[in-house]
Amino acid sequence: MNKPVRQTDTPSGTVKAVSVADYIVDRLAAEGIDHCFGVAGDYVFPICDAVDSSTKVKWIGCSNELNASYAADGYARIRGAAMLATTYGVGELSAINGVMGAKAERSLVFHVVGMPSYQNQRVHKIAHHTLGDGVFGNFVNLSACAACCHAVINPENCVVEMERVIAEARRNNQPAYIAVPSDYALSPVAPADVKPIVPRSNPAALQKAMAIIAERIKNAKSVVAFPAFTIARLGLQKEAQRAIEALGFPFVTTLMEKCLIGEGHPQFAGMYVGATSEPKTRQIVEGADLILDLGGVNLNDITTAAYSGQLDLSRFITVGLDDVRIGDQVIANVRLEDVLSELAKLKPSSAPYKGKPQGLAPVNGSPSDKITMAALYPRYAAFLRGGDTVVLETGSSSLGVTPTILPDGVRSKRKFYGDRSVGQPRPPSVSRLPIQAGAQF
């Protein structure tokens, strides 16, 4: 991570203080963000201007705030974090469905909102984009509920609060809400000696968790790994695959993790969808002595086919983003990436599981035939190549593509919770274009 810039040198050699807006943009750029999605509006103009003058972040104007929020969500799923900029009230509320969807599915979006000036807030002036009551905190609580943390920024707290919200958003991998009054956004940042906070495991807690996990694995007659969608959010697919290969266990996925690890992998035992799973897959999962949940698999009504499975949750070890849960015991301050690294060091207790990898379904029928699911989706699979990303809408395409084996290296993206807004799949698709040139969508 780059160190945030606190001041700049002018051509005359004098030192120019950095404004709050410039600092926010530059600090988020240091998190690897180089595009900002949003809709310009009067209260957020200082942020827009800061993005426009930045050499690190490019403005991506969107048709409305809802589309901008979905585009930011899609960007974050690929890049790890995204920036969304909207104006106070009408702008942020228009975006809230997409931001809440990002929260539900662990997608890290920094939602920066320009507020009316502090001066007007202080004297309770009646202003547009408000409820006309002179109260300016009505929407902060609403938008804060769509995030895992929030801050209202001023020149004095800017440096400290930015580090706090970034660290908390990283720890949970969920959106952060950053509101800044328009006059404060133009004010110089007060210096503060604060270093970026990087979430790390507590060594003693990690050692304790790994000792229990290793013992449970040793005593189990059968183990199955359940890599969760959060692994993709954190970009830990390779680390998860190394851990699974080192342990030698079969692994399964749910609908939310399709293509997380290549479906042609010899240890892939299929997709678990409750009672509608393939019989062998269901037996491997529901008959296992130990289910190693890597990342916090989401057993919701969709992924379990209306809770139709027979899962014994007492057999789960769940490695979350920041803790490990073993029965009723929770070991805090243990990071997922560190557990994956330690798991890769363990020795397998038996020969690695080797299933029979399923190949691509044969393409059948002629182009002049009526379109059917059996004829259409194998053609999709044959068309796709490694590195391509498939963005699914909730409906026929999800029902058809999800059970279809896709080539290794293809990424499948679909929203499960924030999926009821018109046109939702398109903005996430478009948001990936500037960051994956040459790939198909």
Q: Is the pTM of this model over 0.75?
A: yes
Cβ–Cβ under 8 Å, residues 129 and 90: yes
Q: How far apart are CA 271 and CA 260, in angstroms?
A: 11
197: tokens are: 């906070």
pLDDT at 31: 96
Which helix (H) or strand (E) is 209 found in, with range?
helix 203-219
| pLDDT tens digits along 126-182 | 888 888 888 888 899 999 999 999 999 999 999 999 999 999 999 999 999 999 999
| pLDDT tens digits along 177-205 | 999 999 999 999 999 999 888 899 999 99
Using 50, 70 and 90 to split pLDDT, how confident is the model at 275? Answer: very high
Q: How far apart are CA 353 and CA 267, in angstroms?
A: 6
Is a pLDDT exceeding 70 seen at residue 354? yes
The backbone torsions φ and ψ at residue 59, rounded to the nearest 5 degrees and listed phi first, read: -80, 130
Enumerate the β-bridge partners of residue 83: 36, 110
The backbone torsions φ and ψ at residue 67, rounded to the nearest 5 degrees and listed phi first, read: -60, -40
Helix, strand counts (H, E) of the chain: 16, 17
Is a pLDDT exceeding 60 seen at residue 41? yes
395: tokens are: 């409906």
Coil, strand or helix at 238: helix
Which helix (H) or strand (E) is 93 found in, with range?
helix 90-104
- Could you tell me the domains of the chain? 7-185 (3.40.50.970), 203-343 (3.40.50.1220), 373-435 (no CATH)
Q: What is the mean pLDDT of residues 403-419?
A: 79
| pLDDT tens digits along 55-97 | 999 999 999 999 999 999 999 999 999 999 999 999 999 999 9
